[in-house]
Structure 1
Amino acid sequence: MPKVLIAIGILLIVVGLLWQVGGKYFNLGKLPGDILFKKGNTTVYFPIVTSIVISIVLSLIFYLIGRFR
């Protein structure tokens, strides 16, 4: 179990660094199809397309991990 937690931690660090650096090049979070409402001082944001993209990518990653396990 400790090895799994260490691997997950390292993976999260790598993803965070890629997100930080890649945020300049890949506008994940502001894709066409994401809904944004602004009215006065209130802003409501629904990242629908971003959620779908992340879900597809994670599904493919977990499928590949399960397939080669």
Structure 2
Amino acid sequence: MTGFGKIFIVIGIVFILIGILWSIFGKLPGDLSFKKGNVTFYFPIMTSIIVSIVLSLIFYFIRKF
């Protein structure tokens, strides 16, 4: 397998993990949600922090091995 193929596999696995985490931790207490009329603004601060930490750990272990 070429290096380009490995990159696509890793990117795919990362997207799958993000999807799983997003469905589990979709609405954490630190996430902001504002609704006014028919407009809703949702900013997932806490979810983004958790996804960032998990991705950092994944890439750390990938780089380590």
Unaligned runs of 5+ in 2: none
Q: Which residue of 2 aligns with 1:44?
A: 41
Q: Please, which of 11, 14, 18 is the counterpart of residue 13 of structure 2? A: 11
TM-score of the aligned structures, taking structure 2 as reference length? 0.73
Q: Which aligned pairs between 1:1-69 and structure 2 lie closer than 5 A?
A: 1-8=3-10, 10-11=12-13, 15=16, 19=20, 23=23, 26=24, 28-68=25-65
Paired residues, number: 61
Unaligned runs of 5+ in 1: none
Which structure: greater helix fraction? 2
Find runs of 4+ consecutive structure 1 residues off by over 6 angstroms: none
TM-score of the aligned structures, taking structure 1 as reference length? 0.69
1:45 deviates by: 0.5
1:12 deviates by: 5.6
Identity of aligned residues (%): 49
SS of residue in 1 equivalent to 2:5: helix
1:6 deviates by: 4.4
